[in-house]
Amino acid sequence: MPQRVGDRVHAFLAFLTERPISLYAAAVLRIGYGLLYLVFLLREFPHRNEMWGPGSPWTPTLARQMFDQSGWASVLTLSDSRVYFEICYALALVTCVLFLLGWRTRAVSVLFAVVVVSFHARAIFMADGGDNLMVLMAVYLVFTACGRRWSLDARRNRLRASAGRTAGPRGGDLRHHLGDARVILTTVLHNCGMFVIAAQVCFLYGCAGLYKVQGPKWGDGTALYYVLNIDLFRPWPELSQMVVGHHVLIAVVGYLTVLVQVAFPFVLFGRFKYPVLVLLLGMHVNIAVLMGLPLFSGAMIVADAAFLPDRFYQALGRLWRCTFHRTGGMGAEAPVGTVSAAVPPQLSPKGVNGPGSLAYGQGESR
């Protein structure tokens, strides 16, 4: 028994330290949230001063008083100057673009988290649920290697590798051991970050489903009927009225929503998760259209993408390249799933995944 426990502990530590998991899913989270927040800031650009600037009814002074109670902080309240606010807004847009593209992701991910937290804290009562989730995800992504796939960082390192400029560790044993420690620490932080992201989404769905179970309106199947009749959440009244007319469909969708949310944490393994993710996708699309909550729906759809395996995204990448080449795209690249697309060609797969490979940690940027 002690030997069996020791073997399991060793296997867990090896899983945690030797190989970063879900690198493509992390890249999708980076691209998705970077794009979502960029679109959000651009959409609110005409109203930026009234929402977050000195001209907001929720003045910087009121925001700072709230910070004393809530513990939040925001770079937007460091000055009441309109010029300072406009500079911050422009830098926020640039940060979203750089994060989306994956340029110097290690540093830009921290700036992106500061941007999201600052805008959320500056006008916390403007939240609709979507930015609450994005605050959490922006902070979690700081600890992940979300720039190792589908990013400018990955492209730059691939070009360096092909040019033969990426080399292994040089110097004494001390430098070699420090490099090994850096690789292990980066891998552990990434894996723990992805685990926390998955746990956060499971907790969100599980709590939402359990709260619905306790509500009498969800129990008798009429909850969605009342939701779709709230004027505040009816951007398309005619469409909502048409959907509300199908009483049986409304009840079935309500029960199915509760079932999928409660069961979500228990169906993440195996192929059954794919139809569940499709159902959740349909649910969030309907929320975006019928209730006018695109930011919330988009944030949840991107979060759900964390549960798709890397082989799914590799297949999408191959399909994209095949389609691009058929339409006259320029130059073929190495397949996304190959080692050469991500690490120096001199390294063997064993060296790539092992904790002793310093070049693995240096050859790839987050």
Q: How confident is the model at residue 1 (pLDDT cuts 50, 70, 90)?
A: low
Taking Cα atoms as reference points, which of 60, 200, 39, 69 lies closest to residue 118? Answer: 60
Question: Radius of gyration of the chain from Cα atoms?
Answer: 23
Q: How confident is the model at residue 98 (pLDDT cuts 50, 70, 90)?
A: very high
Show the tokens assigned to 235: 């951007």
Amino acid identity at 78: L
Tens of pLDDT, residues 38-69? 999 999 999 999 999 998 998 888 888 888 88
DSSP at 340: G
Q: Other CB atoms closer than 10 Å to residue 22's CB: what's the count?
A: 26
CA distances in angstroms from 250 to 30, 202, 226, 244, 300, listed in the order given: 35, 25, 10, 7, 22
Q: Is 133 exposed, middle or buried (0-12, 13-18, 19+ CB in 10 A)?
A: buried
Taking Cα atoms as reference points, which of 337, 304, 315, 346 lies closest to residue 25? Answer: 304
Q: How confident is the model at residue 304 (pLDDT cuts 50, 70, 90)?
A: very high
DSSP at 56: S
SS3 for 361? helix
Which residues have a Cβ under 8 Å from the Cβ of 103 and sit 6 or more positions away? 151, 152, 153
Q: Other CB atoms closer than 10 Å to residue 364's CB: what's the count?
A: 25
SS3 for 316? helix
What is the predicted pLDDT for the residue at 172? 55
Q: Is the pTM of this model over 0.75?
A: yes
DSSP at 168: -
